[in-house]
Amino acid sequence: MIRATTLTKSAGIRHGFFTREDGTSRGVYASLNCGPGSGDDPQCVARNRARAMAALNVEPERLCTVHQVHGAAVVVPDGPWPGGKPPKADALVTRTANLAIGILTADCAPVLLADDTNGVIAAVHCGWKGALGGVAEAALEAMTALGADRARIVAAVGPCIAQNSYEVGPEFFDTFTREDAANEDFFVPSPKEAHWQFDLRGFVGHRLTSAGVERVELLRRDTCAEKAKFFSYRRATHLKEADYGRQLSAIVLAD
């Protein structure tokens, strides 16, 4: 797994941006596929999630993920989901110790946040829709409602699709610039006529800093380009693969 310097320095916080390596799945899911929503063997997914939790010293049943819908809803778990059925949301915030909260991605940006002084953490799924719709800001509001001090929050934006790999059409560009003309800063012209390349990582980082997070670390890894290291929805689509795995990013408060 990959760790962020900002979060590693936070006392009492354990975290990891897991890659696709060192799991039990095969084929397009090889090997550490942690996505229950994929078509992978559920037993393989369960074993992979247990391996990830072992790396964070957390019992497998103490991992909470959600049914991600590219929105801005936030949930605040204080234990495993009743019946094991996750709610629909794109961010999790908690102050419960030894409860891992996690996000699943395959090109979208995973964001982990912590205020270790006040003992509040968050995990946020930032696809372009959620990022534009304010999911990061919603997570920060939920953190402060639980007692976090925004000035003390540190954030890390994990591996996601990089600008060089993220070509978009004019409608996508127009959606962002209609929202705010300054969003044009996150686009560069693509070699393909009337197309652009979008900096999702930079945009998510900008939303966090604009919301008052002073320490934001951007992990500059490209999920689409680094096939051996990461799952990628876009790469799987280009290769006409039937499905794709999801990597887990998770954070936990130690007791």
pLDDT in tens, 164-217: 999 999 999 999 999 999 999 999 999 999 999 999 999 999 999 999 999 999
| Mean predicted lDDT score pLDDT of the chain | 97
* Superfamily of 5-162+199-253 according to CATH: CNF1/YfiH-like putative cysteine hydrolases (3.60.140.10)
Whether residue 18 has pLDDT greater than 90: yes
β-strand 74-75 against 100-105: which pairing, if any?
unpaired
Whether residue 93 has pLDDT greater than 90: yes
pLDDT in tens, 110-139: 999 999 999 999 999 999 999 999 999 999
CA distance 113 to 6: 9
